[in-house]
Amino acid sequence: MLPSDDLHYIIRSVRRLPLQSFSRCHHDQNCSVVSNHSTRLFAVFGNRVGYSLDGQDDDDNNRNQSRGEASTGAGRLFTNKKGYQALHVAKQLQQLLLTISVFGSLGVLLVQMAAVVYTLATTAMPFGLHFLLACVLILFDDLAKAEGEMNDLYQRYEAMKKLATQSEIRLEDIPENVECEQLRSLITKRNKLTFRLGILKRGIDEEKAKSGKKKKFIYDPESFNGIKEALTQICMVALREAYPQLEIEQVVQPSGKPMFGDYQFNAAMQVSKELKNLGIKCAPAEVGKAIASKLPANKIIDKVEVAPAGFINMWLSKEFCRNLLLEQVRCGIKPPKLEKRLRIVVDFSAPNVAKQMHVGHLRSTIIGDSIARSLEFLGHDVLRINHVGDWGTQFGMLIAHLQDTFPNYLNEMPPIEDLQKFYKESKLRFDTDEDFKKRAYECVVNLQGHEKDHVKGWQQICEISRKEFQSIYDQLNIKLIERGESFYQSRMESTVEYLREKGFLEMDDGRLIMFGLEEGNIPFTIVKSDGGFTYDTSDMAAIRQRIEEEKADWIIYVTDMGQSNHFKVLYSCAERCGFYDPSKVRIDHVGFGVVLGEDRKKFKTRSGDTVKLQELLDEGLSRSEETLKSKNRHNVLTPEEFEAAKKAVAYGCIKYADLCHNRVNDYVFSFDKMLDDKGNTAVYMLYAVTRIRSIASNANITSKQLIEAAKTERIPVDHEKEWKLVKALLRFHDELIKITEDLCLHHLCEYLYDVASSFTEFYDACYCIEKDGKTGEVLKIHMDRLLLCEATALVMEKCFWILGLTPVSRM
């Protein structure tokens, strides 16, 4: 039985029940529920009928509560077990309500009550009996008033029923004691159709996305950005005109054999297949001819042939190519024209304060610098960020140790020569001395509170580290802007507050976490259980600052592959909370493999410690000096030239050995291989450029004379090796564009080696300067071939600059 207070409330509430709107809310499978505006009358019934109707377990109830659904008993009446069963009960009540509102007779009411009580009792006995009892009491109390109120209640039921019938009902929502095979069959069919509809919708969305990104191909001779791109534009214009109904995109590729031209356009087979799907039979050869007939007039292509398989073979205009190279000699190597100048943030290197840089920082520093250089050459606005670890609880122990070791640190810079040793000493005290540990935590609190003495100690430690880092950056010619964890400290606080206010944070075992958009991913820990921030927090604050304050169009993170999942969660969380919009900002994680020793294990010292970067650079200098002396260079070069060559070889070989490998792979670090002057090594490249430059200088021809000659002379293209070198040089823009697509520098290294090899073939086959074999007297200077030498040197030196290598005049 109902408690007396609930019973009296029912009587009062039915008399004064206000007419409220019913709304539709959703359970797990979108069952209709009564809105949160439902009265306590339904709440009382729902709390009881919920247990008789409800077969859900506690997890389902918890899930309901966590989603803010069915928070009242009234909600549970229609959601706790099944919307269909609730509707079934409601249909029985309909007859009762109808009888009350129409006849208003207690006798008729009792008869109708007897007619429906069996059904009510078998489906929701507590609800049925309580409701009937309430109705009887109400009628005895005030029959006329009850009739009016029940009529209102009936109207509300009709609205509720309408919503219930519009909701989605699952097979498991139908009670086992309700026979409705037709409904079961319809639900099954609907589920199948819904599944197929979902597939079709996803397919349509994907096609729309592709269509939205579809390029408009217009050939513009004035916007030349490389041979490959220009030919692709020309061929795609022809393809669109020949087959406008198709949305195929194809890129022109260099031909594998000279007999098949210089470049090929191989879209015919794909077009033929697409036409066949549309019911149109057309052989690839016919397709190729149709496309070739629509090629727009241009100065790049000299001859076109269509192979039997439909391949369109194209021969370049030698006149066009020689004019391009002459322009490069006269004006230097120009970058491709940009559609839009982008604001790009490149985050790389990122060592930790109070720790020495090790070989693990080498790859991030070298790769990040080269990516920044390539984007700068293209004309973008590049911001080079060094996200150093200069904040955190470890500075408490460092400051406490500083206070004990150098009590006069406030007045003069502590003479810390080995910061790594200083760090280890403080860590040992922190682990073994409880009093020191307590004081270290107090120092952390004071530092975070910006107490001036502690802030000064922190600044001094950072400055000592900064000088060590800068020494390495200077040796490698790396430019960076330092923005450490401390830079984002205040921004972390505002970011956490924003995430908390917007409801993106969840409590988990005392910490505040945040999930991204993808289900199943690990969450970010935004605030630790002790109230401190994490790397996740600083990365969220940093990505927000870079997009909102720096107005970045493109953000590039250069770290090891092990952090790829971290960055996926970062992008997902940033997108979820609105910091990052993938349609407006491009973000890339440039991951890389680890450096291995010659034993193919992680590169370590003999004692098993991580190899310090400075020690590696010092050994490189030593090995470079030995190599140059073994070739008697110290007796040929001046001391200044020898020192320049030693550094160029040492640092160049370390950089090039890293960059010439696909960055996603591990690579074996070997000085012996790096310093080899044969093959795809920095030493070979440096020798090649030095050799090219020496050809003209040995004939007393200056760069100014070559630039002047470029106004009247013509680049030679008649010899097979001349033409091969010319075509190789004109691929520079294409290789540069490729780097911006996948951010892999090994493409440029492979191209550089191809150019150097092509030049060697050319130089061995074609005389640039003819001399008397006995006297060495210059008999003839082939100025046109010297122009080709100059063009080669310019391209190779530009590749050097992008890769961070320094050419030398003499080796």
Pairing of strands 381-386, 343-347: parallel
Q: For residues 769-796, give the mean pLDDT.
A: 92
Q: Percentage of residues in the chain with pLDDT exceeding 90? A: 59
What is the C-alpha separation between 651 and 104, in angstroms, rounded? 100
Work out the mean pLDDT of the chain and round it to a whole number.
81
pLDDT band at 158 (very low <50, low <70, confident <90, very high): low
Token pair 């409701």 is found at 131
What is the C-alpha separation between 151 and 162, in angstroms, rounded? 17
For residue 90, the model assigns a pLDDT of 52
Name the packing angle between helices 40-53 and 106-141 (round to 10°): 120
- SS3 of 344, please? strand
As a whole number of Å, the end-to-end CA separation of the chain is 103
Mean pLDDT is lowest, of 244-253, 424-433, 564-573, 594-603, for 594-603
- SS3 of 773, please? coil
- In terms of phi and psi (left: phi > 0; alpha: psi -120 to 50; beta: otherwise), the region of 477 is left
- In terms of phi and psi (left: phi > 0; alpha: psi -120 to 50; beta: otherwise), the region of 700 is left
H or E element at residue 654: helix 639-659
For residue 111, the model assigns a pLDDT of 46
Which two tokens mark 598?
A: 């010659």
- SS3 of 372, please? helix
Architecture of the domain made up of 613-803 = Orthogonal Bundle (1.10)
Residue 567 in contact with residue 521, Cβ under 8 Å? no
- pLDDT tens digits, 417-464: 778 888 899 999 999 999 999 999 999 889 988 899 999 999 999 998
What is the C-alpha separation between 500 and 496, in angstroms, rounded? 6
Residue 385 in contact with residue 346, Cβ under 8 Å? yes
Output the CA–CA distances (angstroms, integers) from residue 237 to 234, 250, 276, 396, 647, in the order listed: 5, 11, 22, 65, 50
For residue 323, the model assigns a pLDDT of 93
For residue 518, the model assigns a pLDDT of 82
For residue 99, the model assigns a pLDDT of 52
Which two tokens mark 361?
A: 């920082």
- Ranges 206-210, 529-533, 572-576, most confident: 572-576
pLDDT for 368 beyond 60: yes
Which two tokens mark 580?
A: 């990052």
Q: For residues 97-108, give the mean pLDDT.
A: 49
What is the C-alpha separation between 650 and 642, in angstroms, rounded? 12
Residue 554 in contact with residue 587, Cβ under 8 Å? yes
Determine the longest span between alpha carbons in the chain, in angstroms: 137
Residue 554 forms beta bridges with which residues? 344, 586
CATH 3.30.1360.70 residue ranges of the chain are 227-316
pLDDT band at 6 (very low <50, low <70, confident <90, very high): very low
- pLDDT tens digits, 632-671: 999 999 999 999 999 999 999 999 999 999 999 999 999 9
pLDDT band at 179 (very low <50, low <70, confident <90, very high): low
pLDDT band at 156 (very low <50, low <70, confident <90, very high): low
- pLDDT tens digits, 103-131: 444 544 554 554 444 444 444 444 444 45
CATH 1.10.730.10 residue ranges of the chain are 613-803
Q: For residues 215-234, give the mean pLDDT.
A: 75
Question: Which residues, 6 or more positions from 421, have their beta carbon under 8 angstroms from its beta carbon?
Answer: none
Please indicate whether residue 80 or residue 260 has the higher confidence score (pLDDT): 260
For residue 202, the model assigns a pLDDT of 63
Question: Residue 805 phi/psi, 5° resolution?
Answer: -90, 150
pLDDT band at 511 (very low <50, low <70, confident <90, very high): very high
Q: For residues 87-99, give the mean pLDDT.
A: 52
What is the C-alpha separation between 691 and 811, in angstroms, rounded? 9
- pLDDT tens digits, 488-499: 999 999 999 999
Mean pLDDT is lowest, of 47-61, 115-129, 357-371, 462-476, for 47-61
Please indicate whether residue 752 or residue 60 has the higher confidence score (pLDDT): 752
pLDDT band at 480 (very low <50, low <70, confident <90, very high): very high
State the CATH class of domain 227-316.
alpha beta
Q: For residues 186-214, give the mean pLDDT.
A: 63
For residue 63, the model assigns a pLDDT of 34
pLDDT for 543 beyond 90: yes
